[in-house]
Each structure stands twice: as structure tokens, then as C-alpha cells.
Amino acid sequence: MNGASVLRTGDAAGNAEVFRCLCRSSPWKWDSLRFELRAVNPGAEEDPSAGMLRAWTRRPGALRVESAEGQLLYSTTGINDSRDGFYVSATRKSWLLPPHLVTPVFNGIDLVSRRPEAAYGEPIFGNGRWSAMLDPVELAGNAPVAYETPFANPVEIHELSETERGGRHTLEAVVSPNLTYRPYDADNPLLLEGHTRVRIDWRTGICVSAVALDGPLQGRGHSLTILGVDEYMLDDLFLEVSMNLTDVREHIPWPVRPHPA
């Protein structure tokens, strides 16, 4: 994008669709991600590191989570296990391909207008809100509605603008859920009652911030800081017990013993 504006003055419907397309695009925008996450709570401590989590994730199913002090809280295991038992179940869902192996319908600026059927779902830590923030399609739905009319979309957009957050370009919107809003996790939705301010990172399509502006849970939400995108990550990073794999990017010394006289 190189700093160019993606929203057009006076084109509310077109700008709203750009926002929704960005919310559908995450599965095709990145493969690995390193980030910090903290819950936003108006009554919490002011220390920004309090309750903060550090995470590494690599699609399709690898995740590592540490506390701010570096204590391992969660890591995926069996990421290279055989899938035989999964496929033998012979359900239709078991044969769906990962999103990066299927082709969506893109719009004119390489955002996803319509998502195909695929094996969606990010690895989860804690609850489904974790998966929803990494792929916030619940803010847009899988495809455009048949016609642009109030309350037809899952989420109503009240304000929309372009902002910078941590040196990264984002789309910021004030939104509220409609009757057709279906969160990934009904008990932990991105949108709470009333209005919510959300920020979607332009490069990744991730919901980096969602904070309730009113209602009984006003001021609550999450804040995510992206530290690295599409970095090389070894399998060893995501295993509970290290397999002592060698990072071949580093020089490997080869000591030679002197020949005895």
C-alpha cells in the first residue's frame, strides 16, 4: 500500500466493503506471526506488562504461548502426527482443505470478497476469542450480502477511518452487532453489547484491538501488538519437549581433533 489511502471520501458503501473484505482476508495474508497480547480492563493495573502474553503461531495449527516472564503456558504437541484417524472418520468436514490451498474471490485491491468452504480455525489458547481475533471474519461474514441495506450485514459500521498503530496501518471502525451477528465463540465474542471500537491491521487482516465503548462491559476488550510476520519458525518451537533440532541458518562448528603423534 506504501502509505496510500484505501478509503475514498464520500463513498461510505465502498469503504464499508473494503473494511469487510479486510476482515475476511486473514487466512491468505500471513503464515506465521509473533505477537504480544493483553486484556484491556478499566479496573486493571496500569503496568502494561501485567497479564501480558507472548505468542508465536504458524499456520495451520502451531501455537506457543508464554507469560511476560518467559514461562511456557501452552505449546502444541503432535503437529506432525499422522492424520489417518481423522480421515477415517469419513465426515465431509475432515476432507476440507486448509484455506491457503483454496482460492477465494478477490476484489480489485487483493482483499477477499468471498471466502470458499475450507478448514478454517486458528489454534486456540483460553477461548475462541483467540481464534476470532486472528481471523475476524465474524465482523463481515463469508460473503457480501445480496444488497446493501441497514442491518443486513452481521455488523453495522457507524464510523470508519484509517489510522496508524505501532507504526502499522490499520482500519479503525466503531461497530455494533446486528441480529445476524454470529461470533466464532458465542461466550467470547469480539463485539460486546452496544458499540465497540475495533482496529484491523492492514498487512495481516488481524483484529489488533477491540474495546467496548458502552454497555455493562464498557472499556473491556483486548490489545494485540504484532512483533513479526512470516518469520521462519522451527517445529521445535512448538513442541512441549524439545527434539533438539538444529537451526541450519546458524553456522555449525566442526571441531577437528589433532592427529596423535
Q: 162 by DSSP, 3-state: which?
A: strand
Is a pLDDT exceeding 80 seen at residue 37? Answer: yes
Q: Quick one: average pLDDT of 169-180?
A: 95
Q: In this structure, what is the dihedral angle of CA atoms 176, 134, 113, 211, given to the nearest 10 degrees?
A: 20
All 3 cell numbers of residue 249?
541458518
Q: Quick one: average pLDDT of 166-177?
A: 95
Cis peptide before 60 (omega within 30 of 0): yes
pLDDT in tens, 130-167: 999 999 999 999 999 877 667 889 999 999 999 998 89
Is a pLDDT exceeding 80 seen at residue 20? Answer: yes
The residue extents of the domains of the chain are: 12-238
Name the burial class of residue 186, with classes exposed (0-12), middle (13-18) and buried (19+) by CB atoms within 10 angstroms of its CB.
exposed
pLDDT in tens, 222-231: 999 999 999 9
pLDDT in tens, 190-213: 998 899 999 999 999 999 999 999
Selection from 170, 133, 137, 130 nearest residue 155 by Cα: 137
Q: 228 by DSSP, 3-state: which?
A: strand
Q: Name the pTM for this structure.
A: 0.85
Please compute, for residue 205, the number of CA atoms within 13 A of its CA located in the half-sphere on the CB side.
Answer: 25
Q: 28 by DSSP, 3-state: which?
A: helix
All 3 cell numbers of residue 170?
490499520
Q: How confident is the model at residue 78 (pLDDT cuts 50, 70, 90)?
A: low
pLDDT in tens, 88-115: 555 666 778 889 899 999 998 999 999 9
Q: What integer pLDDT is reported at residue 2 of this predicted model?
A: 47
Tell me which CATH code domain 12-238 carries: 2.50.20
Measured on CA atoms in the order 119, 114, 28, 8, is the torsion positive or negative? negative
Cis peptide before 150 (omega within 30 of 0): no
Contacts 24+ apart (CB under 8 A), 41-46: 41/219, 41/220, 42/218, 42/219, 42/220
Q: What is the CA radius of gyration of the chain?
A: 21
